Amino acid sequence: MKPIVIAIDGPAASGKGTLARRLAAAFNLPYLDTGLLYRVVARRVLDHGGNPADPAIATAQARGLGRLDLGRDDLRTPEVDLAASAVASIAAVRAALLDFQRNFAASSGAVLDGRDIGTIVFPQAAVKLFITASLDVRAQRRFAERQIQGHTATLDAVRADLAVRDEADRTRTAAPLRPADDAHVLDTSALDADHAFAAAAAWVNQALAKV
Ligand SMILES: Nc1ncnc2c1ncn2[C@@H]1O[C@H](COP(=O)(O)OP(=O)(O)OP(=O)(O)O)[C@@H](O)[C@H]1O
Ligand SMILES: Nc1ccn([C@@H]2O[C@H](COP(=O)(O)O)[C@@H](O)[C@H]2O)c(=O)n1
């Protein structure tokens, strides 16, 4: 198969990562969760006692990011959720992370998920998907996930965290969250993961038939 890039964007907990991992396995492509990059930058700023909204501090941490940082097990806390959204609104942080994302797909193609993959990182991607679901459905899914992991956050707190991040991600000046003009939009509010995968795989096969 010719290496292709599959770009997947959407709001928090919409199911991007679940879908991206399945597509990567099915089409034999490497997978990058780009949210992790912003989470690592945020984690590093917090570790140094810095303010995630401070452009100089956040950009310095983004420039020093290493591949090993992505394996940290302390990147998915509520504190890091909000700090990641803060560092992600800084244009210089985003610029510092662009090469990493593009290099990731350079030799073999890739599936990447995030907020600006189809609009900024890979505007020429062979397939662009925008995965969404209602706030209530996303909150319920994330809440259930966090309960299994033993977290104590309430459903209301999880919903509030998602709403705050969505608003910040959609309204920022730097690479705001939005579907690319040529993205396939998939609302998974009433779709389980198998049906979401089937719809997305059909779009990928359509695109592959053209390359
Ligand atoms: N179509 C679906 N139906 C039901 N549950 C789903 C579906 N897709 C994903 N999930 C579940 O919803 C939760 C969030 O999914 P996932 O982590 O893939 O979202 P995400 O968009 O990648 O989130 P984030 O932006 O925080 O990285 C997970 O528990 C996952 O198992
Ligand atoms: N391409 C991306 C990916 C992520 N972000 C920001 O990071 C936050 C955490 O991302 P998750 O996918 O792990 O939820 C997210 O809220 C965004 O602010 C981004 O800007 N661009």
The mean pLDDT value for 196-210 works out to 96
Are 75 and 38 spatial neighbours (Cβ–Cβ below 8 Å)? no
Compute, in angstroms, the gap from residue 14 CA to the centroid of ligand 1: 5
57 has a pLDDT exceeding 70: yes
Which of the four pLDDT bands, split at 50, 70 and 90, describes residue 111? very high
Q: Measuring CA to CA, which residue among 48, 3, 19, 1 is closest to residue 130?
A: 19
SS3 of residue 53 by DSSP? coil
Which of the four pLDDT bands, split at 50, 70 and 90, describes residue 151? confident
pLDDT of residue 2: 65
Boundaries of every domain in the chain: 5-210
pLDDT of residue 66: 84
Q: Tell me if 88 CB under 6 Å of ligand 2.
A: yes
Give the rounded percent of residues in the chain with a pLDDT score beyond 90.
Answer: 91
Compute, in angstroms, the gap from residue 139 CA to the centroid of ligand 1: 10
The mean pLDDT value for 76-97 works out to 96
Question: Could you give the angle at the alpha carbon of 37 between the alpha carbons of 119 and 160, nearest 5°?
Answer: 80
Which residue has its alpha carbon closest to ligand 2 atom 19?
Answer: 115
Its pTM stands at 0.97
CATH code that applies to domain 5-210: 3.40.50.300
Are 5 and 109 spatial neighbours (Cβ–Cβ below 8 Å)? yes
Amino acid identity at 165: R
Per-residue b or e along 100-136, where b marks 16 or more CB atoms closer than 10 Å to that residue's CB = bbeebbeeebbbbbbbbbbbbbbeebbbbbbbbbeee
The mean pLDDT value for 98-121 works out to 97
DSSP state of 36: H
ipTM > 0.85?
yes
101 has a pLDDT exceeding 70: yes
Residue 25 buriedness (CB in 10 A; 0-12 / 13-18 / 19+): exposed
Structure-token pair, residue 140 = 């319920």
Ligand 2 atom at shortest distance from the alpha carbon of 36 = 13
Instruction: Spell out where the chain has E strands.
Output: 5-9, 31-33, 110-114, 127-132, 184-187
Are 111 and 126 spatial neighbours (Cβ–Cβ below 8 Å)? no
Structure-token pair, residue 27 = 């089409």
Which residue has its alpha carbon closest to ligand 2 atom 15?
Answer: 85
Q: Tell me if 116 CB under 6 Å of ligand 2.
A: yes
Compute, in angstroms, the gap from residue 210 CA to the centroid of ligand 1: 30
Q: Which pLDDT tens digit goes with each residue over 13-31?
A: 999 999 999 999 999 999 9
79 has a pLDDT exceeding 70: yes
- Mean per-residue pLDDT of the chain: 96
